[in-house]
């Protein structure tokens, strides 16, 4: 694989250092001396990475160019700084610069940069401003790319579609986009489209007037109205009915909507972020997602990788979760090396949410040191899952079987407690009470409450 690196405004000394450092590797180097030249070069020939020399005087121009020049979306970016302030550096990181170092530290920074852009490369699993975005953490190349894309799209008005398995951190990604957007001072309203009964969804989205239907005893402001001047996050968008997707499309196209039972037209300026744990193409083919609304929502699609594809990020997250539980309990427990090894080799099909629950249970069960035996398996030894069935071993207690049936059903419906309750033939309150009885953080089981990813 040949990586194309563009050098912009670098001194001869730094340019020669780059050339010497990669002469034995499959890199092709191009040099330009202005942003105009850079635009022309990138327009005719896309590159994998861009290294820019930036001073205090040129920092504002460099950031303006990066913000306006969208073809650089998938490029790795490095700044070699001379006299650049801490505030300017942070702003650069916020708009998607991956590595930002002083000119005097260029060699070490470039070594890290090369590790990042090399196929399969991964930087050290440490937490700093380049490996964290909001409550999301990741040092892997896959997550740093996600951070870069989210930082780039955040200041725009583009609709964002987040695609990823349940538990990967889509809610955290949406929250991070909001916090770095132009509407960050407005309300952030998160909606799980799969958790609201279909007959109530229109009223919840658009609101209703008093008396518009049985039980409407007062005016009700919907999610669009509450998100006015802010961000509306529509999680699990494929769970929305086709009929309601048509009405949502109208709002996305015109910005206008009506409360149920009202004739007055309201205007929405909410920033829209949507998410799905389905493959969009499969949802389109299955008729669960309209093509027109998909293209409206996917102006800027971002795929959140599964935890099993993030290398040693799993250890970084495990340590973060453990630190959180230690802080809450006033304890100072730690993992043994063998425990970390066992965490690293697991697939974690439930992603960060499953990992957090496992760390929480291990924290409860262990003493000062968390060992491999404290880390729970996905299912207890007496109950195994096979496809859509559970096998319960003879000798299992009724309580254990009930517990695993509830957990398996929650997993089947991606944490949706309403559907879980309906399937099990119990009330939602019963599901809540059972989770509380099991001493499990039921919020962590709910899509959109990953805590960190």
Secondary structure of 78-132 as H, E, C letters: EEEEECCCHHHHHHHHHCCCCEEEEHHHHHHHHHHHHHHHCCCCECCCCCCCCCE
DSSP state of 241: -
Q: What phi and psi values does residue 317 have, to the nearest 5 degrees?
A: -70, -40
Domain 3-152: assigned CATH number = 3.40.50.2300
Tell me the DSSP string of 402-432: HHHHHHHHHHHTTT-HHHHHHHHTS-HHHHH
- Looking at residue 24, its pLDDT comes to 67
For residues 244 and 289, is the Cβ–Cβ distance under 8 A? no
Residues of the chain with confidence (pLDDT) below 70:
1-2, 24, 67-74, 94-96, 116-130, 378-397, 438-452
Question: What pLDDT does residue 249 have?
Answer: 92
Residue that has been written with the tokens 């518009």 in this structure = 212
Length of the chain equals 453
Report the helix count and the strand count for the chain, using DSSP H and E: 18, 18
How far is 66 from 94, CA to CA, in rounded Å? Answer: 11
Facing residues of 30 across strands? 6
SS3 category, 215: coil
Which DSSP category does 140 fall into? B
Contacts of 430 (CB under 8 A, 6+ apart): 421
Longest dimension (CA), the chain: 76
What is this structure's pTM? 0.64
**Is the separation of the CB atoms in 159 and 270 below 8 Å?**
no
Distance in angstroms (rounded) separating the CA atoms of residues 318 and 358:
9
Which residue from 23, 26, 17 is spatially nearest to 108, judged by alpha carbons?
17
Nearest to 361 by CA among 402, 398, 333, 394: 333
Please tell me the predicted confidence (pLDDT) of residue 378.
Answer: 60
Q: What is the pLDDT of residue 294?
A: 93
DSSP 8-state code for residue 222? -
Other CB atoms within 10 Å distance of the CB of residue 452 = 20
Query: What pLDDT, in 10s, does the model give residues 152-209?
Result: 889 888 999 999 999 999 999 999 999 999 999 999 999 998 888 877 888 889 988 8
Helices 170-179 and 141-153 meet at what angle, rounded to 10? 40
What is the CATH T-level fold of the domain 154-303, as seen in this structure? Rossmann fold (3.40.50)
Cα–Cα distance list, 119 to 26, 215, 246 (Å): 11, 59, 42
* CA-CA-CA-CA torsion sign (45, 49, 53, 56): positive
Sign of the alpha-carbon torsion through 328, 331, 332, 334: negative
Helix, strand, coil percentages in the chain from 3-state DSSP, rounded to 5: 45, 20, 35
Dump pLDDT digits (tens) for 414-432. Answer: 777 788 887 887 777 777 7
pLDDT score, position 442: 46
Instruction: Determine the straight-line distance between the first and last CA of the chain, rounded to whole angstroms.
Output: 30
* CATH 3.40.50.300 location in the chain: 154-303
Name 304's Cβ contacts closer than 8 Å, sequence gap at least 6.
146, 162, 163, 164, 165, 168, 169, 170, 173, 453
CATH assignment, 309-445: 1.10.8.60
> Quick one: pLDDT at residue 1?
43
**Which tokens go with 161?**
């579609």
Q: What is the pLDDT of residue 70?
A: 54
Helix intervals (H) in 280-345 = 280-285, 291-297, 313-329, 337-345
According to CATH, where is 3.40.50.2300 located in the chain?
3-152
When computed from its CA atoms, the radius of gyration of the chain, rounded to whole angstroms, is 25
């Amino acid at each position: 694989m040949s990586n194309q690196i563009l050098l912009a405004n670098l001194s001869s000394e730094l340019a020669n250092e780059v050339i010497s450092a990669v002469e034995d590797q499959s890199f092709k180097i191009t040099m330009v001396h202005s942003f105009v030249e850079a635009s022309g070069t990138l327009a005719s020939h896309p590159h994998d990475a861009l290294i820019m020399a930036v001073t205090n005087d040129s920092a504002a121009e460099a950031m303006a160019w990066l913000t306006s020049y969208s073809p650089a979306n998938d490029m790795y970016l490095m700044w070699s700084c001379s006299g650049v302030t801490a505030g300017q550096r942070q702003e650069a990181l916020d708009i998607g610069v991956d590595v930002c170092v002083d000119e005097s530290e260029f060699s070490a920074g470039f070594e890290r940069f090369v590790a990042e852009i090399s196929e399969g490369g991964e930087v050290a699993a440490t937490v700093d401003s380049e490996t964290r975005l909001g409550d999301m953490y990741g040092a892997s190349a896959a997550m740093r790319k996600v951070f870069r894309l989210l930082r780039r799209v955040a200041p725009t008005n583009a609709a964002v579609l987040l695609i990823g398995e349940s538990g990967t951190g889509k809610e955290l990604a949406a929250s991070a986009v909001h916090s770095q957007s132009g509407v960050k001072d407005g309300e952030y309203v998160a909606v799980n489209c799969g958790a609201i009964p279909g007959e109530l969804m229109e009223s919840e989205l658009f609101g209703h007037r008093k008396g518009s239907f049985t039980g409407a005893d007062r005016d009700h402001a919907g999610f669009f109205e509450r998100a006015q001047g802010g961000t509306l996050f529509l999680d699990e968008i494929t769970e929305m009915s086709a009929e309601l997707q048509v009405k949502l499309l109208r709002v996305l196209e015109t910005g206008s909507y009506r409360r149920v039972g009202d004739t007055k037209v309201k205007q929405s300026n909410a920033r829209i972020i949507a998410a799905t744990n389905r493959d969009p193409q499969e949802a389109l083919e299955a008729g669960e997602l309209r093509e027109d609304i998909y293209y409206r929502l996917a102006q800027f699609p971002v795929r959140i990788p599964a935890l099993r594809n993030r290398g040693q990020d799993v250890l970084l997250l495990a340590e973060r979760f453990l630190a959180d539980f230690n802080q809450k309990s006033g304890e100072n427990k730690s993992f043994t090396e063998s425990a970390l090894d066992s965490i690293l080799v697991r697939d974690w099909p439930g992603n960060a949410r499953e990992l957090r629950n496992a760390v929480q249970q291990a924290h409860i069960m262990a003493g000062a040191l968390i060992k491999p035996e404290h880390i729970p398996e996905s299912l207890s030894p007496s109950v195994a899952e096979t496809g859509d069935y559970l096998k319960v071993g003879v000798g299992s207690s009724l309580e254990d079987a009930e517990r695993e049936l509830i957990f398996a059903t929650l997993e089947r419906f991606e944490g949706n407690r309403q559907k879980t309750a309906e399937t099990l033939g119990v009330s939602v309150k019963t599901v809540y009470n059972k989770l509380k009885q099991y001493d499990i953080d039921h919020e962590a089981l709910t899509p959109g409450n990953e805590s960190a990813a």
